[in-house]
Amino acid sequence: MSAMAYGKTMFNGRSIFLVSKGYPGVYWPTHPTANAGGIVYVHRAVAYAVFGESMFDKHVNHKNGDIWDWRRSNLIPLSPEDHRREHISEPVERNCLKCGRIFLAPPNRKRSFCTAQCRIEHSQRTSWPETTALWCMAKDLGYEEVGRRLGVTGAAVKKRLKVRGFAAGRSPKQPQ
């Protein structure tokens, strides 16, 4: 029952195609689990065949995490709350790009700021010094320290100098 190769696999005589988030689906408007557009997620069709109507208010989880593996032994109906818990892991520590404070962020999203205020302040345009002065600061203090003082990353300082014709680690070139 599981798919081996996308585009060459059939489910109940129907061609499989990708639906939302890469899940395999089929067009089957008469199936009880079909959405308004007549699309049925293959794993939900299998779960319906195995568990019957009791799975209507449930989410169907793949035990091994492979969304193309819809074997009966790999599917389990879960309440929406249990399914959400199944996919959420522990938060991770990150350093705020603006203030440097350590904060906990959701593991599935790249969050770089501890508060909305830090994000807003960071996104406001940086007031850059004149290029030669910036180069001298970077030469004396290093890219990271200059970046910290300006509220940007060291890579941003390095890129700004490079774009303006100042090679890293050498005497500044005269801009064209």
* Domain limits, the chain: 10-87, 92-163
Least confident window among 2-6, 11-15, 41-45: 2-6
Residue 171, pLDDT score: 46
Residue 114, pLDDT score: 86
**Interval 67-124: pLDDT, tens:** 888 898 989 999 988 888 777 767 778 888 778 888 888 766 667 788 888 877 777 7
**Interval 18-55: pLDDT, tens:** 887 788 899 999 999 999 999 999 999 999 999 998 88
* Helix, strand counts (H, E) of the chain: 6, 9
Q: How far apart are CA 76 and CA 62, in angstroms?
A: 7
DSSP state of 150: H
CB of 100 within 8 A of CB of 121? no
**Overall average pLDDT of the 130-140 stretch:** 90
Helix (H, G, I), strand (E, B) or coil at 100: coil
- Residue 141, pLDDT > 70, answer yes
Q: Please determine, looking at this structure, whether the domain spanning 10-87 carries the CATH number 1.10.10.10.
A: no
CB of 145 within 8 A of CB of 158? no
The predicted model scores a pTM of 0.47
Q: How far apart are CA 111 and CA 134, in angstroms?
A: 29
Return the residue matching tokens 């065949």.
Answer: 49
